[in-house]
């Protein structure tokens, strides 16, 4: 089927010129210089020794950048929070009220200590009278939308940590008949 | 930390492919020394990343790329070499280890092939690459690689036919 089989056989008899012995020495030196002369079987090991080195640097830079961003965010949030508290306290709107600060013991093993928290109610909705769980007395259901913020502070370093999240509360207020 | 085993491993791999790589590199550069420089650079870069020669298409592609870079970088020298080579006997730095006149005629016929056919022939015959690997190394389709190979053999047969 192959008309060229004899020709291919003759071509394969031709041997390419061998490289000079110096080439092997030069390649060996180049690989030694780059510290990359690791066996093919241990190629993964090579990657595991080289890659983490780069990753540690990346991780270090990443953590440093994240720390700077967190500190910046904390400072900005504190200023904003102080402003919001002032607004909330001065606001005449009935649906906005400032809930007293609550402290909560931190479960974090670090040296951050609880520094207080706020529960800012930014919306209140009266959902009317209801009979809860078959009760004979009606209750008024009021839904509060709040923004809760908790703060921790490290007294040694002065660093602070703030967690803020929205929440929703439903309060059932018993209504007494006249 | 296996310096001895590693050393032997690259040496074994390089011994297996070096003659074919050199022949491949000399499709673009006539000087054996330049071809060795190209092969050295390509193999060292390739070995640092791969530590085996399983992906041969990539290795040959690296050699080809470096050879083409060499030509572009040193065009004047390449022209000068081409002029000198045109005036000298090609047997000064033979591409093959020739045993007789028949092989010399065959080698001359190979060197007279068009470049695109010759590089496919070199990869197929003396580097044992599949058409798929050749296609990957040269950036062409498998069909193109196969047809160039057939054209190369046909041209060789035609050249070697007794008049």
Task: Locate the domains of chain A by residue range.
Answer: 18-90, 94-178
Q: What is the ipTM of this complex?
A: 0.81
Give the integer Cα–Cα distance in Å for A129 and A73: 43
Closest CA to B63 of B12, B32, B23, B11: B23
Min Cα distance B95 → chain A (Å) is: 5
Sign of CA dihedral B159, B160, B161, B163: positive
Tell me whether residues A4 and B18 touch, CB distance under 8 A: no
Using DSSP's 3-state secondary structure scheme, residue A169 falls into strand
- Please state whether beta strands A15-16 and B96-97 pair in parallel, antiparallel, or not at all (unpaired): antiparallel
Mutation for testing the A interface, residue in B48, B98, B131, B147 having most A CBs under 10 Å: B48
Q: What is the pLDDT of residues A85-141, one digit of tens each?
A: 555 554 444 444 444 444 444 444 558 888 888 888 888 888 888 777 777 778 888
Tell me whether residues B9 and A46 touch, CB distance under 8 A: no
Mutation for testing the A interface, residue in B44, B66, B129 having most A CBs under 10 Å: B44
Place of tokens 């004047």: B76
Walk me through the domains of chain B, giving residue ranges and CATH numbers.
Answer: 1-95 (no CATH), 99-163 (1.10.10.10)
Min Cα distance B34 → chain A (Å) is: 11
| Cβ-contact A170, A141 below 8 angstroms | yes
Give the integer Cα–Cα distance in Å for B68 and B28: 7
**Residue A4 reports pLDDT greater than 50:** yes
Q: What is the pLDDT of residues A84-98, one digit of tens each?
A: 655 555 444 444 444
- Using a pLDDT cut of 70, give the percent of chain B over it: 83
């Amino acid at each position: 089927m192959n008309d060229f089989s004899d020709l291919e056989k003759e071509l394969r008899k031709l041997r390419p010129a061998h490289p000079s012995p110096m080439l092997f020495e030069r390649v060996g030196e180049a690989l030694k210089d780059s510290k990359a002369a690791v066996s093919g079987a241990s190629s993964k090991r090579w990657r595991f020794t080289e890659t983490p080195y780069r990753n540690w640097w990346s991780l270090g830079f990443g953590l440093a950048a994240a720390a700077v961003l967190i500190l910046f965010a904390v400072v900005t949030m504190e200023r904003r929070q102080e402003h919001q508290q002032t607004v909330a306290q001065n606001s005449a709107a009935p649906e906005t009220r400032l809930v007293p600060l609550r402290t909560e013991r931190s479960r974090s093993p670090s040296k951050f200590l609880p520094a207080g928290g706020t529960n800012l109610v930014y919306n209140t909705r009266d959902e009317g009278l209801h009979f809860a769980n078959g009760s004979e007395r009606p209750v008024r259901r009021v839904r509060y939308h709040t923004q809760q913020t908790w703060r921790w502070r490290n007294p040694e370093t002065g660093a602070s940590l703030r967690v803020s999240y929205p929440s929703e509360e439903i309060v059932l207020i018993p209504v007494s008949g006249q | 930390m296996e310096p001895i085993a590693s050393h032997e491993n690259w040496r074994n791999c390089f011994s297996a492919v070096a003659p074919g790589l050199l022949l491949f590199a000399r499709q673009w550069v006539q000087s054996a020394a330049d071809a060795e420089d190209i092969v050295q650079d390509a193999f060292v870069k390739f070995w640092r990343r791969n530590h085996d020669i399983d992906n041969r298409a990539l290795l040959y592609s690296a050699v080809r790329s470096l050879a083409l870079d060499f030509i572009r970088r040193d065009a004047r020298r390449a022209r000068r070499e081409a002029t000198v080579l045109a005036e000298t006997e090609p047997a000064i730095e033979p591409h093959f280890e020739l045993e007789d006149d028949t092989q010399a005629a065959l080698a001359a016929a190979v060197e007279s092939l068009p470049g695109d056919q010759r590089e496919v022939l070199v990869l197929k015959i003396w580097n044992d690459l599949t058409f798929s690997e050749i296609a990957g190394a040269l950036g062409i389709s498998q069909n193109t690689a196969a047809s160039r190979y057939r054209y190369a053999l046909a041209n060789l047969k035609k050249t070697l036919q007794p008049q």
